[in-house]
Chain A
Amino acid sequence: QKEVEQNSGPLSVPEGAIASLNCTYSDRVSQSFFWYRQYSGKSPELIMSIYSNGDKEDGRFTAQLNKASQYVSLLIRDSQPSDSATYLCAVEAERGGSYIPTFGRGTSLIVHP
């Protein structure tokens, strides 16, 4: 059973702070890693994708990948109340030419003014 683990939270941070969201995965051959944001009652929205070790920055968001330790994280700088949502980590591994995604259950983030 391939697993993706996230702390369910809620993670509460003050406005303007850095929010750090973490995700660990069990499948060592995982190749693709994605972060999605899901507002209550809405569908997931892609924030970041990362495929190689290291950091990837996009605006206020930075994804960090460490394949040796099997974790991927998302940093949100200058957090805003509008960032309050559930953040889903998704991991994909290629098997026999097919890619099957596994999602974590998400971390609830609350940014308070």
Chain B
Amino acid sequence: KAGVTQTPRYLIKTRGQQVTLSCSPISGHRSVSWYQQTPGQGLQFLFEYFSETQRNKGNFPGRFSGRQFSNSRSEMNVSTLELGDSALYLCASRAGPGNQPQHFGDGTRLSIL
């Protein structure tokens, strides 16, 4: 069974640009969550989607948004990029909306210049 796939693996952007990251969950998994990981803040929850609906949202500004498609694939968008957005962005999937372990993709490392 294929794992969680994230693309691209690496991205370099400049301040003010926007970026879209993609995540394909494990087959059969309908819940997709996004996280930001930085050395200073650790793993921070961004949002979770289940059946194309955002179920939970972390404490991030509105520049961070996402969506989920009918095939459970998910995208995350960050607009008006800031230097502080440099981080590893991780996607995790699980079969249902909660109370189960998550399985992480390899992440997208985003660097803002």
A residues within 8 Å of B by Cβ? 31-32, 34, 36, 42-46, 49, 51, 88, 92, 94, 97-106
Contact = CB atoms under 8 A, between A and B. Distances in A.
B43 interface: yes
A103 B55 contact: no
A47 B36 CA distance: 21
Contacts of A43: 90, 104-107
Given A98-B55, A98-B56, A100-B56, A44 B43 contact: yes
Contacts of A51: 99
B101 interface: yes
Nearest to A95: B56
B102 A46 contact: yes
Interface residues of B, number: 20
Nearest to B90: A43
20 contacts: A31-B99, A32-B98, A32-B99, A32-B100, A34-B102, A43-B90, A43-B105, A43-B106, A43-B107, A46-B102, A88-B43, A92-B99, A98-B56, A98-B97, A99-B97, A100-B56, A101-B45, A102-B45, A103-B35, A103-B45
Contacts of A102: 45
Closest 7 CB pairs of A and B: A99-B98, A105-B42, A103-B43, A43-B104, A49-B101, A46-B101, A44-B104
Contacts of B48: 98, 100
A47 to B, nearest CB: 9
Contacts of A99: 56, 97-99
